[in-house]
């Protein structure tokens, strides 16, 4: 465990030693803030209209604002995640430090978990900063906290899937740009795979819907924590890490 945490700390330091972490966090917060503002203004306008026409207690902030905000945040993740993972192994290969890492007294599993946890910590920091907007929402309104927790949990699990996949793709090439492009293309395929099922048979549609990474996020965005969705994401993460382990193992044998 000590080796894993040491590698994770090294990875996290490398992100903040360059402008990468600051740019990603700033960009993520800027886009999140824009969607927050748009949905907040729409919610205020709809609330005023409902009150004006005798709509009782007004609009539900969780249904009319939080759900859409989290769904749009998932779109931001689609573009941001490749920037986090594209350098994890590609930079090590390009600089030649991967040989030093593979010959150090740590196992492949410790290396992989360390890099994954380091990238996940950066992503968690990005999500943590956006909670400032939620504090504003609690200051001016009265939203339910459970759907917000469920939404953030869904974003964290979905991000973990993207990170494990990106880690695997980064281990296949020395070029960061190639790794970033392939990672984004893979994410996009996982994002829209259920679209192929619209004109398919019911069985094919059901399979493609299950494979779609966004279908399992909808419940989280609604504030529902379903174990089957959590199991899907955890299984996805484990498969990504397993494939990365196989890739790193083949690199060790070639070295």
- Rounded CA-CA distance 8/14 in Å is 10
Q: Which pLDDT score is estimated for 65? A: 82
Over range 7-32, report the average pLDDT: 88
**Residue 78, pLDDT above cutoff 60:** yes
Q: Which of 86-95, 119-128, 163-172, 186-195 has the lowest mean pLDDT?
A: 86-95
Q: Which pLDDT score is estimated for 219? A: 87
Enter the tokens of residue 139. 């200051």
Give residue 117's domain range: 2-250
Over range 10-22, report the average pLDDT: 85
Q: Which pLDDT score is estimated for 164? A: 92
Q: Which pLDDT score is estimated for 146? A: 87
114 found inside a domain: yes
- Rounded CA-CA distance 74/223 in Å is 15
- Return the percentage of the chain with pLDDT > 90, whole number: 25
Q: Which pLDDT score is estimated for 157? A: 94
Q: Which of 64-68, 162-166, 249-253 has the lowest mean pLDDT?
A: 249-253
Q: Which pLDDT score is estimated for 159? A: 93
Average pLDDT over the chain, rounded to whole? 83
Over range 181-208, report the average pLDDT: 80
91 found inside a domain: yes
Q: Which pLDDT score is estimated for 34? A: 93
**Residue 38, pLDDT above cutoff 80:** yes
Q: Which pLDDT score is estimated for 197? A: 66
Number of domains in the chain: 1
By C-alpha distance, which of 116, 96, 25, 87 is closest to 251? 96
**Residue 231, pLDDT above cutoff 90:** yes
Q: Which pLDDT score is estimated for 212? A: 83
- Rounded CA-CA distance 208/198 in Å is 10
**Residue 255, pLDDT above cutoff 80:** no
The residue with greater pLDDT, 125 or 250, is 125
Q: With bands split at pLDDT 50, 70 and 90, how would you rate the model's confidence at 30?
A: very high
255 found inside a domain: no
pLDDT tens digits, 197-225: 666 777 777 888 788 888 888 889 888 88
**Residue 68, pLDDT above cutoff 90:** no
For tokens 């299950």, the residue is 210
- Rounded CA-CA distance 46/55 in Å is 10
Exposure b/e, 215-233, CB count within 10 A at least 16 = b: ebbbbbbbbeeeeebbebb
pLDDT tens digits, 141-179: 777 888 899 999 999 999 999 999 999 998 888 888 888
CA distances from 205 to 189, 196, 197, 199, 208 (A): 15, 8, 4, 8, 5
């Amino acid at each position: 465990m000590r080796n894993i945490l040491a590698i994770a700390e090294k990875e996290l330091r490398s992100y903040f030693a360059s402008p990468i972490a600051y740019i990603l966090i700033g960009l993520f917060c800027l886009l999140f803030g824009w969607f927050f503002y748009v949905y907040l203004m729409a919610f205020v306008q709809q609330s005023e209209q409902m009150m004006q026409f005798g709509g009782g207690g007004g609009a539900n902030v969780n249904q009319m604002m939080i759900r859409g905000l989290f769904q749009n945040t998932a779109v931001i993740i689609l573009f941001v995640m490749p920037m986090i993972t594209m350098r994890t192994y590609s930079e090590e290969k390009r600089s030649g430090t991967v040989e030093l890492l593979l010959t150090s007294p740590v196992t492949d599993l410790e290396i992989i978990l360390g890099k994954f946890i380091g990238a996940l910590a950066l992503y968690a920091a990005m999500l943590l900063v956006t909670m400032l907007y939620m504090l504003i929402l609690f200051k001016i309104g009265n939203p339910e906290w459970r759907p917000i927790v469920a939404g953030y949990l869904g974003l964290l699990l979905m991000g973990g899937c993207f990170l494990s996949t990106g880690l695997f793709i980064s281990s296949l090439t020395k070029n960061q740009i190639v790794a970033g492009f392939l990672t984004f293309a893979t994410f996009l395929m996982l994002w829209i795979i259920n679209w192929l099922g619209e004109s398919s048979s019911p069985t094919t549609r059901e399979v493609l819907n299950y494979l779609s990474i966004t279908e399992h996020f909808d419940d989280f965005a609604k504030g529902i924590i379903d174990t089957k969705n959590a199991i899907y994401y955890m299984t996805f993460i484990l498969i990504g890490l397993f494939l990365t382990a196989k890739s790193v193992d083949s690199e060790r044998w070639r070295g």
